[in-house]
Amino acid sequence: MTAYLLRRLWQTIPTLVGVVLLVFFLFKWFGGDPAEILGGLNASPEQIDAIRDQLGLNEPWWVQFGIFVQQIVTFDWGRSWATNEAVSSLFASRLPATLTVMLPILVLEVLLAIPLAMGVAYWRGSLTDRAIMVVTTVALSISFLVYVIVGQYVFAFRLGWFPVQGWSDSLWTNLVTYAPLPILLAVLVSLAPQTRLYRTFFLDEIGQDYVRTARAKGLPERTVLMKHVLRNAMIPILTNVAVALPGLFVGSFLIEVFFSIPGLGREVLLAVNRSDYPVIQAVTIYVAVITMAVNLVTDVLYKLVDPRVELK
């Protein structure tokens, strides 16, 4: 296990270097001129040159790349061009709001989708299975924006159960007052595709020979499903969860925008609209690192879920 972890960590180095090079050169040659963006339309050529000197844009590209690498290593991305707030402070202040909403969404959709998918897979071909598949297909065909508009109208305006927008400095207040409605709507949206996907995982396992052997031995159906089918289907489920995990750190743009949640997702969207390069670069690098770390942890979880998996 230790040797495998060391090899994987060593293999992430060229991947990370490639991501850093790609991000640097994309912003260097394909993005707009940062000095012109900061100076605005009314800036004089002298002001543009002064901004370029201040940002180090007149230095050779290898010097600029060295500065970029130094920012990554020291976690010091400077200040946002739009708000003049330190990028590190911006991340620290916006990330808790994103995680407050996105973590419950991920946990709830997994905990609800697994038993629901297992149930419809067990009763495959029945009226219940067909009805749930029709409902999930219809749910997949509706835009999330429709869920947000209808959910705000029904649960906020008509029933008055939740506020439409708002956020506070109290975690408990956010969890019980402002977060339930966006969490509810996001879970309703994500439950349909997750149920269909997990259903296919369980159907693949239910049709295997080991399931028929377990039933022939007289094991209760509950034991067959929970001990054998679920355990063997956990590997693709873990893979699906791992793919979704990096998105937690960026959040859902629509959720944070329509519910006025001061999270990282909304901040990234604003940064893109403002061409706020320091924020965009930091998010890109951080998400790449988080993705590689999540993939490594997922590989280790494969071994814990199924001891037959060999880490090579």
Whether the predicted pLDDT of 249 surpasses 80:
no
The model's confidence at residue 36, banded by pLDDT at 50, 70 and 90, is low
Q: Give residue 165's pLDDT.
A: 80
* Per-residue pLDDT reduced to its tens digit, 94-139: 888 888 888 888 888 888 888 888 888 877 777 877 888 888 888 8
Residues 212 and 263 in one domain: yes
Report the alpha-carbon distance of residue 174 to residue 158 in Å, rounded: 21
Asked whether residue 311 is assigned to any structural domain, the reply reads no
Same domain? For 162 and 41 the reply is no
Same domain, 210 and 65: no
Tokens representing residue 163 in the block: 């506020």
CA-based end-to-end distance of the chain = 9
* Backbone torsions φ then ψ of 79, nearest 5 degrees: -120, 150
Mean pLDDT across the chain, nearest whole number?
79
Evaluate if residue 16 carries a pLDDT over 70.
Answer: yes
Give the mean pLDDT of 36-63. 70
89 is a domain residue = no
* In-domain check, residue 84: no
* Nearest-10 crossing angle of helices 230-248, 180-206: 150
CATH of the domain at 154: 1.10.3720.10
Burial letters for 286-299: b for 16+ Cβ neighbours within 10 Å, e otherwise?
bbbbbbbebbbebb
Q: In this model, does residue 294 exceed pLDDT 70?
A: yes
- Shared domain for 9 and 140, answered yes or no, is no
Q: Tell me how far apart the alpha carbons of residues 287 and 293 are, in angstroms, rounded to a whole number.
A: 10
- Residues 148, 21 share a domain: no
Write down the pLDDT at residue 198: 86
What is the pLDDT at residue 175? 84
79 beta partners: 86
Q: What is the pLDDT, as a whole number, of residue 304?
A: 73
- Do both 45 and 157 map to the same domain? no
Q: Considering only residues 56 and 189, tell me which one the structure prediction assigns the higher pLDDT.
A: 189
Phi and psi of 217, rounded to 5°? -75, -5
Q: Which two tokens stand for residue 143?
A: 């835009």
How many Å apart are CA 177 and CA 95, to the nearest integer? 19
Q: Are 108 and 197 in a shared domain?
A: yes
Residues 35 and 127 in one domain: no
> Is there a single domain that holds both residue 102 and residue 242?
yes
At residue 236, the pLDDT reads: 84
Residues 209 and 105 in one domain: yes
Range of the structural domain that residue 194 is part of: 97-305
Tell me if 269 is assigned to some domain. yes
Residue that finishes a domain, picked among 42, 59, 74: 74
Q: What is the DSSP string of the chain?
A: -HHHHHHHHHHHHHHHHHHHHHHHHIIIIISPPHHHHHH-TT--HHHHHHHHHHHTTTS-HHHHHHHHHHHHHHT---B-TTT--BHHHHHHHHHHHHHHHHHHHHHHHHHHHHHHHHHHHHTTTSHHHHHHHHHHHHHHTS-HHHHHHHHIIIIIIIS--S-SS---S-HHHIIIIISHHHHHHHHHHHHHHHHHHHHHHHHHHHTSHHHHHHHHTT--HHHIIIIIIHHHHHHHHHHHHHHHHHHHTT--HHHHHHTT---HHHHHHHHHHHT-HHHHHHHHHHHHHHHHHHHHHHHHHHHHH-TT----
Q: What is the pLDDT of residues 252-284, one digit of tens each?
A: 777 888 888 888 888 888 887 777 778 888 888
Spatial separation of the C-alpha atoms in residues 100 and 129, rounded to whole Å:
34
Count, residues in the chain: 312
Residue whose C-alpha is closest to residue 118's, from 229, 264, 228, 259? 229
Between the alpha carbon of residue 111 and those of residues 59, 187, 205, the distances in Å are 53, 11, 19
Distances (CA, A) of 75 to 33, 146, 148, 288: 24, 39, 36, 14
pLDDT above 70 for 302: yes
Confirm whether 236 is domain-assigned.
yes
Residue among 64, 79, 52, 66 at smallest CA distance from 276? 79
Number of domains in the chain: 2
Residue 297: the pLDDT is 79
Tokens standing for residue 202: 């369980």
Q: Which of 74, 109, 135 is the last residue of a domain?
A: 74
Residue 81 falls inside a structural domain: no
Average pLDDT, integer, range 206-233? 79
The pLDDT confidence band at residue 307, using thresholds 50, 70 and 90, is: low
* Residues 6+ away with beta carbon under 8 Å from 166: 177, 178, 260
In-domain check, residue 83: no
Q: What percent of the chain has pLDDT over 70?
A: 89
Closest CA to 80 of 277, 255, 281: 277
Same domain, 122 and 239: yes
